[in-house]
């Protein structure tokens, strides 16, 4: 039997449970022949266990105060399942990085402001991951093509990692994040001082297109918009609205060009 060459993408497929059964034995043999790839896989597994431990007590915690604005009063016969989603969704956290209940273990009521939800999730993700020192991203900029292809496939649209180098920001890498029952993509950038910005993309079917909107929360600021059934947000801390708008404009133009082919 001819064995196809494996790549880092197959590590993600394996962790997601999507690697074909007939390839798993040879995949494990490939890891044994490539200690660096095995170490990478083991690091992802370790991250998953770390997240499990970190969220072990979440189900027993009181409802976070900030979620009260969504009209959620606490456990009830019709809502108790939502808090349990945190534990049930650990597999999602392991595959794509964790926001846990911070990024949407609760679904807002039907008819909520989809654009605002995009901004909230983008800001929460930025606040969590921009502070990371060792595990900022799942896939680094040295694997940019793989990163963009992987996130495009999971989110369901053609993505690019926008080039912000003219503004002094270089790509660090990216992550896959949970957003209710959907997947979201996050690209993270850093300048020479260590300041970070991020681009967040999530499918938001049925939501009307919007212009650029600004939202400030948790000490960060997001410039966000909805276009063609997807929500986008560029997020930063300690940045003027004018600079953020310029970065969002750059992202919009490059994403639009990629999607038009």
Residue of higher predicted confidence among 58 and 148: 148
Query: Is residue 235 a contact partner of residue 221, using CB atoms and an 8 Å limit?
Result: yes
pLDDT band at 149 (very low <50, low <70, confident <90, very high): very high
pLDDT confidence band for 52 (50 / 70 / 90):
low
Show the domains of the chain with their CATH numbers.
Answer: 8-96 (no CATH), 114-260 (3.30.200.100)
Q: Report d(CA 172, CA 136) in Å as an integer.
A: 8
Question: For 43-58, what is the mean pLDDT?
Answer: 62
Look at residue 261 and tell me whether its pLDDT is greater than 50.
yes
Strand duo 220-227 + 230-236: pairing: antiparallel
For helices 35-54 and 8-15, angle between their N-to-C axes, nearest 10 degrees: 30
The H or E element containing residue 129 is helix 114-129
Average pLDDT on 61-68 reads 47
Question: What is the three-class DSSP state of 223?
Answer: strand
Side by side, the strands of the sheet bearing 220-227 are: 139-140, 170-179, 182-190, 196-203, 230-236, 220-227, 213-217
Exposure of 234 by Cβ count < 10 A (0-12 exposed, 13-18 middle, 19+ buried)? buried
Please check the confidence at residue 62 and state whether its pLDDT lies above 70: no
**Region of residue 184 (left: phi > 0; alpha: psi -120 to 50; beta: else):** beta
pLDDT of residue 114: 67
Q: Rounded to whole angstroms, how far apart are CA atoms 210 and 191?
A: 29
Give residue 63's pLDDT: 46
Residue 86 has pLDDT above 80, yes or no: no
Q: How far from chain centre, in Å, is Cα 35?
A: 27
The encoded tokens of residue 261 equal 């082919």
Predicted local confidence at residue 175, as pLDDT = 94
> What residues contact residue 35 under an 8 Å CB cut-off, 6+ apart?
none
Alpha carbon 211 to chain centroid, angstroms: 22
The whole-angstrom separation of Cα 71 and Cα 11 is 40
Phi and psi dihedrals of 104, rounded to 5?
Answer: 125, 35
Residues shown for the chain: 261
Weakest mean pLDDT among 15-24, 35-44, 101-110 = 101-110
In a 3-state reduction of DSSP, which class is residue 55? Answer: coil
pLDDT tier at 48, thresholds 50, 70, 90:
low
Confidence of residue 218 (pLDDT cuts 50, 70, 90): confident
């Amino acid at each position: 039997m001819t064995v196809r060459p494996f790549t880092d993408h197959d590590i993600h497929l394996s962790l997601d449970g999507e690697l074909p059964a007939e390839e798993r034995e040879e995949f494990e043999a490939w890891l044994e022949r490539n200690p660096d790839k095995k170490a990478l896989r083991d690091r992802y597994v370790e991250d998953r266990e770390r997240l499990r431990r970190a969220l072990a007590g979440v189900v027993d915690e009181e409802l976070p105060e900030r979620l009260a604005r969504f009209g959620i009063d606490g456990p009830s016969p019709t809502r108790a399942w939502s808090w349990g989603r945190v534990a049930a969704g650990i597999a999602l956290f392991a595959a794509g990085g964790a926001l846990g209940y911070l990024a949407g273990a609760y679904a807002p009521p039907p008819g909520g402001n989809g654009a605002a939800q995009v901004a909230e999730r983008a800001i929460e993700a930025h606040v969590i991951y921009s502070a990371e020192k060792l595990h900022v991203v799942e896939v680094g900029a040295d694997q940019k093509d793989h990163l963009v292809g992987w996130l495009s496939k999971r989110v369901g649209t053609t993505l690019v990692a926008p080039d912000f180098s003219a503004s002094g920001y270089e790509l660090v890498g990216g992550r896959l994040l949970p957003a209710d029952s959907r997947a979201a993509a996050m690209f993270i950038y850093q300048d020479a001082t260590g300041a970070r910005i991020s681009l967040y993309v999530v499918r938001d079917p049925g939501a009307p297109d919007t212009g650029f909107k600004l939202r400030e929360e948790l000490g960060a600021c997001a410039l966000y918009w909805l276009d063609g059934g997807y929500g986008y947000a560029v997020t930063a801390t300690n940045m003027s609205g004018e600079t953020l708008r310029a970065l969002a404009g750059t992202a919009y133009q490059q994403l639009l060009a990629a999607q038009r082919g």
